[in-house]
Structure formats: structure tokens, C-alpha cells
Amino acid sequence: FVNSVVCSFCFRGGAELLFDGVKKHQVTLPCQPEPWDIRNLLKWIKQNLLKERQELFMQGDSVRPGILVLINDADWELMGELDYKLQDQDNVLFISTLHGG
């Protein structure tokens, strides 16, 4: 089993409204057989943190288009997106660029 991983997640640009208005979460992810990656993390966030209107945050197994994901201040596209393996103390930032009219 892989050790638990401590990470922080931030939600900005309106995404925090889907998480009871809480912008920053410090989380210890439980031990599991394989390393935590962003794909597993999104499932965990959906089950444990997301409070409403999941369609505004998730699309299929990923975040919906219009949500920027930064891992330790770098675009997740440079890090392998859903396959990025989380490290202890990683900081994952979700920024919604979608604004209602």
C-alpha cells in the first residue's frame, strides 16, 4: 500500500461556490494500493467535497472545459493531466474561467 498523501486544494473563480464557498482544503488522502493520481483525486473530491451541481465541475472523469488546473503553480497539461501522480504536500488549484451572464 502507498502511504497517505497530504495535499491542499484551492478553488477559485467561482468554483468555490460548488464547495460551500470554501476556497482552501487541506486533505490527507487515505492509503490505497496504487499511487494517487489526478483521476483518482477528482473521484475523491466528487465523493467527499463537492456539494452541489457537479456538472459545473466535472465532465466524465475529468474537470469540465473552462476549469484550469494548476499543480504546484504549473499547468496540469505539462504534468500529465489525469495521470499525474500526487506527491506529499502538492498544491492543486482549480480555477473556473466560466462566468454566468
Spans of all domains in the chain: 5-96
Q: Specify the pTM.
A: 0.90
- Does position 81 have pLDDT exceeding 90, yes or no? yes
Q: What is the pLDDT of residue 4?
A: 84
pLDDT digits (tens, 9 = 90+) for 9-66: 999 999 999 999 999 999 999 998 889 999 999 999 999 999 888 899 999 999 999 9
pLDDT of residue 25: 94
Beta strand 5-12 pairing with 91-96? parallel
* Closest to 17 in 3D by CA, of 53, 42, 47, 46: 53
Going by pLDDT thresholds of 50, 70 and 90, the confidence category of residue 101 is very low
Q: 3-class SS at 9?
A: strand
What kind of architecture, by CATH, is found in domain 5-96? Roll (3.10)
